[in-house]
Amino acid sequence: MLDYIVVGLGLSGIAISRRLEERNKNFIVFEDNSQKSSLVAGGLFNPVILKRFTLVWNANEQMKIAIPFYKEMETQLQAKIVYPIEIYRKFFSAEEQNNWFEAADKPLLSEYLDTNLVKDINPNIPSEFSFGRVRQTGVIDTDILIKEYRNYLKNEDKIQFERFDYAALQINEDSVSYNGISAKQIIFCEGFGMQHNPFFNYLPLRGNKGEYITIYAEALQLKEAVKSSVFIIPLGNDLYKVGATYNNQDKDPQPGEAARQELVKKITQLITCKFEVVDQSAGIRPASKDRKPMLGRHPKYKNLYCCNGFGSRGVLISPMVSKQLIEFIENEVQLPPEIDLQRFSKKHYTD
Ligand SMILES: Cc1cc2nc3c(=O)[nH]c(=O)nc-3n(C[C@H](O)[C@H](O)[C@H](O)COP(=O)(O)OP(=O)(O)OC[C@H]3O[C@@H](n4cnc5c(N)ncnc54)[C@H](O)[C@@H]3O)c2cc1C
């Protein structure tokens, strides 16, 4: 009998699988490529909310766990995944500059917000009110991470590239069975795909579609990420990701014309050099009602777990909460109530 079945191998499933490997647990992953959120993510890790200059929920703790976690995966997979990249926030007014200074005075934010404003960062990105630099930021190449980890699991015979069929899951007293596979526990990490999961779709999961365009801009020569009304993230070879959009109405997984137009308009207002759109991608962010992750044990079936609700912050959140979930399952270390899915079960779960 296996220790675990894991359903879904986006950022959540990867972090869970790594935690299982750390504990020498036997497991099998099911992945059907139905969701793309982790694959298309900008991959930014950034502890500061750049709209209001506030700290991301639990940012310090998340950063301490996430960066070493991805560095270890670099070593394991022999692939470059972590790219430290500075983020410059473009200011639109003197008031914004003042808000930045006020925020930088706060103890938890001071280590991240540089108070030496920069007048010019690039001749093609003018700013009347300068730029503020965020420290300790960077990008995780989620595309390489996912591809390499999937290959690794394939070589280890630990992944099956097929849809997990919920109707075929049999729940026993101390185990689960699925098409001839028995395991002690099952953890669902399907992102927005959880809407089809009859065991956990009672949870208030809100899909938020996000789209990026990729532009080719030879004259731009930008090494840093810039945040204005959109992010520009350098990819190398004069290519840049520009985005992302936020849309909580549209659940079509394909990229759309309206988002492309919105992003072209915003980048035209931000950079002065020529560019060409060469690609566009879309994914549905799995967000929760209260913007915190939702993880833990099913209210009725004790061998069923889920790890979801990362919204727009999966890169930093997944290494931390995966650790907490496995400690909860294996060592009965209680989950913090603010992330435990039980906070919704009383209101939403009907047996
Ligand atoms: C455009 C965009 C930009 C983003 N940028 C950033 C960023 O810069 N930084 C950041 O931290 N976050 C970013 N995010 C958010 C981040 O992508 C998410 O928080 C994260 O990817 C969620 O990971 P997940 O594993 O929960 O879900 P997903 O990535 O959706 O993974 C779920 C996996 O489960 C699989 N699956 C689902 N159902 C089944 C089934 N029945 N059987 C088998 N497999 C199944 C899917 O195919 C998928 O691979 C961005 C998101 C988008 C859309």
pLDDT at residue 351 above 80? no
pLDDT by residue (tens digit) across 161-194?
A: 999 999 999 999 999 999 999 999 999 999 999 9
Atom of ligand 1 nearest to the CA of 284: 53
Digit-coded pLDDT (tens) for 139-150? 999 999 999 999
347 falls in which pLDDT band (50, 70, 90)?
Answer: confident
Ligand 1 center–CA 235 separation, angstroms: 20
Structure-token pair, residue 250: 């549209």
Spatial CA neighbour of 44 closest among 76, 89, 7, 6: 89
Q: Phi/psi at 167 (nearest 5 deg)? A: -65, -20
Give pLDDT, residue 165.
98
Tell whether the model's pLDDT for residue 348 goes beyond 90.
Answer: no
**CB-based contact 211:260 (threshold 8 Å):** yes
Domains, the chain, ranges and CATH?
2-41+143-204+289-348 (3.50.50.60), 84-141+206-287 (3.30.9.10)
Neighbours of 155 (CB within 10 A): 9
Residue 132: closest CA among 93, 77, 159, 187: 93
Distance 244 CA to ligand 1 centre (A): 14
Q: Mind listing the pLDDT tens digit for each residue in 77-90?
A: 999 999 999 999 99
| Per-residue pLDDT, 192 | 98
The closest residue, in CA terms, to atom 51 on ligand 1 is 41
Average pLDDT over residues 2-22: 98
Atom of ligand 1 nearest to the CA of 30: 43
Residue-wise pLDDT tens digits, 34-85: 999 999 999 999 999 999 999 999 999 999 999 999 999 999 999 999 999 9
Residues with CB under 6 A from ligand 1: 7-13, 30-35, 37-38, 40-44, 163-164, 189-193, 210-212, 243-244, 283, 285-286, 308, 310-316
